[in-house]
Structure 1
Amino acid sequence: MEIILYSKSLDVIDKNHVNSSSKIFEIEFAQALAQYAKVSIVSYSAKSDMQYKNVSLFSLNKDETIANAIRTTICKNSLFKDSQKIIIAFGYDYRIFRQLKKVSKLYDTKLISYTFDTHKGATNSSGFLKKNLIDLYFRFGIRYVNTIDGIILFNEEAYKEMKLSIPFLISKVGINEESIVPKVYLRTLNSENEFRIVYSGTLIEYNSIETLIETMSYLKGQNIVLDIYGDGPLKSYVENCVKRADNIIYHGLVSNSQINSAVSRADLLINLRDTENYISKFAFPSKLIQYMASGIPVLTTKVLSENEFCEATFAIDDLDPLKIKNSIINIKNNPYLQTKKSEYAKEYIKEKFLWSNIIRDVIQFVKYD
């Protein structure tokens, strides 16, 4: 089996050098697929061809259309020689899938969408006219995706929302077992040390950034500090708030290796996802699985309802800043429970979220009958 992944954003395939959880997800997904198939990623963002572990990244010629650029890459690198050929692309961009379908027909391949997000999150801050024009464009994309061979999603609600009739697979975010940090959190806090909270991710409404910053306003004088890493539509809002707050530090968009370093020094990682938001029908915070693998305890909204998830995290179902403040203080005052959560979280993701298990269902779904 041979698979080509089309990526809009990947410029490297070493996850330590990327700066978003979605890029990490794409890289690890490709590496997991490579256990069963020859995998190549093609991207206009890549400046040069490169190989990392068992995955190749090929730079597409910006002067050519997607279809022609991929065809050139296939010929130049002797790709698609196997009888089972699959193209996978992320999302449902009409222009991209229309071009990829030309390649699919030319090489007699399956064409699969992996949709783990929705365009609506990025358009929340757009004006009325622009927002509706973008929405119209992507509705055409969804309709076009309904003509391809299949789609992979995180939530069946997304399949219903898109009104699709093609074959689908409900999958999960995965993690490699070697990425699970062996250490368990152990507090060494004393009266002179700060209790450090880390948020890393997109600065956007459905990640409850405003709620998080309001929560910190109630924690002044508690020796609790929040480090924020990331970029997004609410960047200016965060920067302005930080000027008036002495317990929040904004670090901007940094590499994954820098994030890992910050996480390793934290006392608590935080993920406040608005589960009532439309985006939650599509997306699952892949950063959350990386958090749980770090050995650092996690405070999160209840994005999963199973009891094991609540045992593995400090799970809350209310985005009231005062209640979140009380939860943080209770966590700070209970380091023993932090250690227990840290221990259980790693066992939980080993059982539920290893790529080695998740990818079997993906391969079964995409392969030819």
Structure 2
Amino acid sequence: MSKTRLLWIGCLESEEEFKIKSRKGYNLASAQVSQYNILTGLEEATGLVFDSINGSVLPPYPTYKDRVVEEVKWSHKEGAFDISVGYKNEKFINRVTCKYSMIESARNWVNGRYKGEDLIVFVYSMRTPVMATACEIKKLIPSAKIYLIVTDLPQFMDLGESKVKAFLKKIDFAQIKNMQKKFDGFILYASKMAEFLRIPNGKWILMEGLYDELEIPNYKKSIEKKEHEKQAIMYSGKLDRQYGIDMLLDAFMRIDNSHLELWFTGGGNAEEYIRECALKDSRIKFYGFLPSRKEVLKKQQDATLLINMRLPSENASAYSFPSKLFEYMATGIPVLSFNLEGIPNEYHKYLIIVAEEKEESLIEAIESTLTMNNIERINKGNQAREFIISQKNKYSQAKYIYEWIQRK
């Protein structure tokens, strides 16, 4: 029986490099965590070790501080080879220069690291650089099996772009659709993606995410104390107005409760409106980007209610799963969400669902949750946490993926 080799193609960074890039303008923390969990979950499930070829997804210079991104090599585990390629980070060409650097790195990997094993390649996200790199691997090693993990659809990312960027995106998606034909299978974060991408049944599975329970520090200690004099609603993540941040602020300011606060962490185009509202209502607290993910998770555990503000009217809501839900639900704190088509029904009984996309419905859902006594609140949060930890942990989800691949 021939040996199996695993290769990851994505935008993973070493822990040290991630911190360095974050200080310069990189803000894809969720992608970093998601990739690391899938990769390490698959390593646990298979007993194998990944090599990885990565291209950073950075805003162009000068939004990101470096005009040239330097190559970084590291090893996430003994026996692993990991590289984040270097490329020119100029506007409009950075994705192209990244793609060609990744393809060159793939050729070097085949010549230097590949020893004729059965090769399984996992590709993270529907982006041209990573897909083109996987197709190059397939060209060099025709027996390789390549699988695409589709977290979001390109059409619903970077909305509000310039006309030039919109035009380039159309060309880019035509290339993506052509490369899609070369993939052996797809791991989709939302089932409706299969319809949109015209992927036939049997060639895809739904895997809306996974979670590493070790990320939540001091969990048992944190749920034993919830009789705060102050109650807090918390939103953490991308502060984008298309996600309904304005509605949340406007609804909150209509709630007459001096013991209630609204906390925001993260950044985005809604920051200015958050600051404007905070001047009018001192209960609104904006913390910006906290120094580490660990501090974000700790802050979440101090909240009374966590809120996912993706809206049903948002075009992407049917074609994506809000990964923030895993992080929220794993805290053991009750989670409020709108009823999004991209959230499978099995999650609904663990969430507090907002009935309609209206301020009044949002206010009603918030006030109803805050009237829960301490026992009810802990039970609601614990049920959600148990669901995530037992059924959506990184080992069981990775095993599910690998068993599907083996059957194929």
**TM-score if structure 2 supplies the norm length?**
0.78
- Any conservation in 2 of the 1:31–1:55 contact (CA below 8 Å)? no
Instruction: For 1:227 and 1:56, locate their aligned partners in 2 and report how far apart those are by CA, in whole Å.
Output: 41
The DSSP-based 3-state class of the residue aligned with 2:82 is: strand
- Any conservation in 2 of the 1:272–1:319 contact (CA below 8 Å)? no
**What CA deviation, in whole Å up to 9, does each residue of 1:153-172 have, x standing for no partner?**
02221111122359222223
**What CA deviation, in whole Å up to 9, does each residue of 1:73-115 have, x standing for no partner?**
4555x3x336221222223223442333112221332222111
The equivalences for 1:150-165 within 5 A come to: 150-165=185-200
Instruction: For 2:402 and 2:55, locate their aligned partners in 1 and report how far apart those are by CA, in whole Å.
Output: 26
The DSSP-based 3-state class of the residue aligned with 2:157 is: helix
- Any conservation in 1 of the 2:209–2:392 contact (CA below 8 Å)? yes
Instruction: For 1:132 and 1:88, locate their aligned partners in 2 and report how far apart those are by CA, in whole Å.
Output: 29
**Deviation (angstroms), 1:7:** 1.9
**Deviation (angstroms), 1:292:** 1.0
Match of 2:153 among 81, 102, 118: 118
2:339 corresponds to: 302
Q: CA RMSD in A?
A: 3.0
Deviation larger for 289-298 or 200-209: 200-209
**What CA deviation, in whole Å up to 9, does each residue of 1:292-349 have, x standing for no partner?**
111222112234463x634322222322222222322222221332111022112222
**Deviation (angstroms), 1:203:** 2.2
Instruction: For 1:213 and 1:260, locate their aligned partners in 2 and report how far apart those are by CA, in whole Å.
Output: 22
Instruction: For 2:43 and 2:115, locate their aligned partners in 1 and report how far apart those are by CA, in whole Å.
Output: 16
1:31 corresponds to: 40
1:287 corresponds to: 324
- Any conservation in 2 of the 1:220–1:247 contact (CA below 8 Å)? no
- How many correspondences in the alignment? 363
Q: For residues 14 and 30 of structure 1, do their structure 2 counterparts lie closer, same or farther at Cα, with a shift above 3 Å needed?
A: farther
Instruction: For 2:407 and 2:392, locate their aligned partners in 1 and report how far apart those are by CA, in whole Å.
Output: 25
**What CA deviation, in whole Å up to 9, does each residue of 1:14-47 have, x standing for no partner?**
8996862222111101111112132123224473
Q: For residues 158 and 354 of structure 1, do their structure 2 counterparts lie closer, same or farther at Cα, with a shift above 3 Å needed?
A: same
1:147 corresponds to: 182
The DSSP-based 3-state class of the residue aligned with 1:3 is: strand
2:360 corresponds to: 322
The DSSP-based 3-state class of the residue aligned with 1:228 is: strand
Q: For residues 243 and 125 of structure 1, do their structure 2 counterparts lie closer, same or farther at Cα, with a shift above 3 Å needed?
A: farther
Residue 13 of structure 2 corresponds to residue 11 of structure 1: yes
**Deviation (angstroms), 1:217:** 1.7
**Deviation (angstroms), 1:117:** 0.8
1:211 corresponds to: 247
Q: For residues 53 and 203 of structure 1, do their structure 2 counterparts lie closer, same or farther at Cα, with a shift above 3 Å needed?
A: farther
Residue 212 of structure 2 corresponds to residue 176 of structure 1: yes
Match of 2:52 among 27, 33, 41: 41
- Report the residue type matching 2:386 in the other structure: E
Q: For residues 74 and 272 of structure 1, do their structure 2 counterparts lie closer, same or farther at Cα, with a shift above 3 Å needed?
A: same
- Any conservation in 1 of the 2:126–2:154 contact (CA below 8 Å)? no
Instruction: For 1:321 and 1:55, locate their aligned partners in 2 and report how far apart those are by CA, in whole Å.
Output: 51
- Any conservation in 2 of the 1:84–1:368 contact (CA below 8 Å)? no
Deviation larger for 46-55 or 356-365: 46-55
Instruction: For 2:405 and 2:262, locate their aligned partners in 1 and report how far apart those are by CA, in whole Å.
Output: 42
- Any conservation in 2 of the 1:16–1:257 contact (CA below 8 Å)? no
2:401 corresponds to: 362
Match of 1:85 among 106, 110, 119: 119
Instruction: For 2:300 and 2:78, locate their aligned partners in 1 and report how far apart those are by CA, in whole Å.
Output: 25
* Unpaired segments ≥5 residues, structure 1: none
- Report the residue type matching 1:38 in the other structure: V
Q: For residues 274 and 156 of structure 1, do their structure 2 counterparts lie closer, same or farther at Cα, with a shift above 3 Å needed?
A: same
- Report the residue type matching 2:178 in the other structure: R
**Deviation (angstroms), 1:241:** 4.0
Q: For residues 81 and 33 of structure 1, do their structure 2 counterparts lie closer, same or farther at Cα, with a shift above 3 Å needed?
A: farther
The DSSP-based 3-state class of the residue aligned with 2:328 is: helix
**What CA deviation, in whole Å up to 9, does each residue of 1:246-278 have, x standing for no partner?**
222222233311211211211111112223433
- Report the residue type matching 2:134 in the other structure: L
- What's the % identity of the aligned pairs? 18
- Report the residue type matching 2:121 in the other structure: I
**Deviation (angstroms), 1:142:** 2.6
1:72 corresponds to: 108
1:202 corresponds to: 238
**Deviation (angstroms), 1:54:** 8.6
- Any conservation in 2 of the 1:11–1:43 contact (CA below 8 Å)? yes
- Any conservation in 2 of the 1:312–1:345 contact (CA below 8 Å)? yes
2:31 corresponds to: 22
Residue 286 of structure 2 corresponds to residue 269 of structure 1: no
- Report the residue type matching 2:300 in the other structure: V
- Report the residue type matching 1:176 in the other structure: D
Of structures 1 and 2, the one with the larger relative CO (CA 8 A, separation 6+) is: 1
Q: For residues 159 and 54 of structure 1, do their structure 2 counterparts lie closer, same or farther at Cα, with a shift above 3 Å needed?
A: farther
2:133 corresponds to: 99
2:203 corresponds to: 167
Instruction: For 2:18 and 2:387, locate their aligned partners in 1 and report how far apart those are by CA, in whole Å.
Output: 24
**Deviation (angstroms), 1:133:** 3.8
Residue 284 of structure 2 corresponds to residue 248 of structure 1: yes
